[in-house]
Amino acid sequence: MPELPEVETTRRGLAPHARQRRIISLSVYEPRLRWPVPRSLARRVAGQRIRRVGRRAKYLLLHLDTGTLLVHLGMSGNLRAVPRGAPRAKHDQFDLVLDSGLALRFNDPRRFGSLLYTAGEPDEHPLLRGLAPEPFARAFSAEYLWRVTRRRRVAIKQLLMNSHLVVGVGNIYASEALFRARIRPTRATRTLTRAECARLVRSVRTVLRLAIRAGGTTLRDYLGADGLPGYFRQRLYVYERAGKPCRRCGTTLRALTQGARSTYYCPSCQK
Ligand SMILES: [Zn+2]
């Protein structure tokens, strides 16, 4: 599933092709995405200019003259710039044709992705309104993490993946950030010290930054905006490495299940 770094990689890949381009047309080949694509959308966006390509959590935001398109990649989607009229492949769901001769093409085999439009402030859209801070935002601070962890009973890994605390920290990045912060994923949140909270905030940012720089993590069905897979997978410390030696201390890494998700950790490095 594309996680925040993949979505940010897509944003950075597409922005130079999309920014300040006018939309000639929107062709929807399959309106039955996670939410149906409104029939009126093609008429609404035709002729509008894409002012900016932004992101909030895992939504790509195409800011237009009079509204915003919200694109979610779902479980298996990707959005790429292709030459206008390039032969269509299976699972191509829509084309946003631009005045540059390129089209932004959305491919999504499992159709959990979405294409929505809002005429209002995107932050006020029902899907974005209640979202927690972005991991790189100042609001996600050591003090904030410390305060939130005082009143929760779950294990720190589960809290970290809870999108009401911070958005965009999926399973891979939660596991990797906890390793870097030397905190065991099963630790009760209330036992975290202020210093550990500070380390964890830093680690979350470091892991996401490295993943974005590497173009996202290679997942079986993920492709970046240019169609190339990411290379972050080769740099993972613990994720899917159970039974292998810790890259830091050589101890055999372990796996366990937490909230139906696999968790990986080093029993020596993480306390
Ligand atoms: Zn270790």
Could you read off the pLDDT of 223-241 as tens digits, one per residue?
A: 555 555 556 676 789 999 9
Contacts of 220 (CB under 8 A, 6+ apart): none
Q: For all residues of the chain together, what is the average pLDDT?
A: 92
Which of 68, 67, 63, 89 lies closest to 78 in space, CA to CA? Answer: 89
> Average of pLDDT values for 159-171?
91
- Is 157 an annotated catalytic residue? no
> Average of pLDDT values for 172-194?
96
**Model pLDDT, residue 1:** 78
Residue 60 CA to ligand 1 centre (angstroms): 37
* Ligand 1 ion local residues (Cβ < 5 A): 246, 248-249, 251, 266, 268-269
Contacts of 173 (CB under 8 A, 6+ apart): 3, 4, 5, 204, 207, 208, 211
- Is 2 an annotated catalytic residue? yes
Which of 59, 56, 91, 55 lies closest to 76 in space, CA to CA? Answer: 91
Q: What share of the chain has pLDDT > 70, as a percent?
A: 93
**Model pLDDT, residue 163:** 83
pLDDT interval class at 26 (50, 70, 90):
very high
- Lowest model confidence (mean pLDDT) among 20-24, 166-170, 245-249: 166-170
| Residues in a beta bridge with 23 | 98
Determine the residue type at 191.
Answer: T
Class of residue 79 by CB neighbours under 10 A (exposed 0-12, middle 13-18, buried 19+): buried
**Model pLDDT, residue 220:** 44
Residue 30 CA to ligand 1 centre (angstroms): 48
- pLDDT, tens digit, for every residue of 108-144? 999 999 999 999 999 999 999 989 999 999 999 999 9
Here the tokens at position 130 are 């209640």
Tell me which of 11, 55, 58, 80 is the catalytic residue: 58
Which of 31, 189, 20 lies closest to 98 in space, CA to CA? Answer: 20
How many secondary structure helices (H) and strands (E) does the chain include?
A: 6, 10
- Is 143 an annotated catalytic residue? no
- Is 3 an annotated catalytic residue? yes
pLDDT interval class at 209 (50, 70, 90):
very high
